[in-house]
Amino acid sequence: MVEYNIADFDAYSEPYESFRSFWVKANKANKILLFFTDGHKQGIIRTGWHIKPDGEKEYITSINERRKRFNMYFSKYILPWFEDYIKPYEVMKKQFYLRGMMLYWGAVVVK
């Protein structure tokens, strides 16, 4: 059986749905490098819809709340969910960058 040690979730509109499926079903190595391309951040500011990494959708009417979530998207909404979801794995290293309204990020996780 193949043991995965790298995976790329380059799904502009829904990277976390495929990640959740992978995480539950894949035969994973003790150390894995994961990459993500996430366009959900722009939906928050443009339309008010916050699609959370667990798949829940929330409509935000307040422009101030939209701005807050937009500005703190990775550190407050993505990373805490991710760290909890991957247990018993832990984040060894993470990196991210923004290009326009797109979030590109990766993490090395270890068991």
Residue type, 109: V
CA angle 33, 35, 41 (to 5 degrees): 145
Q: pLDDT value at position 10? A: 86
How far apart are alpha carbons 92 and 110 in whole angstroms?
6
Tokens representing 11 are: 């799904």
Q: pLDDT value at position 12? A: 66
Low-confidence ranges of the chain (pLDDT < 50): none
The reported pTM is: 0.92
Using CB atoms within 10 Å of the CB of residue 16, give its burial: 0 to 12 exposed, 13 to 18 middle, 19+ buried: buried
Q: pLDDT value at position 1? A: 80
Q: pLDDT value at position 58? A: 97
Q: pLDDT value at position 42? A: 92
Q: pLDDT value at position 13? A: 76
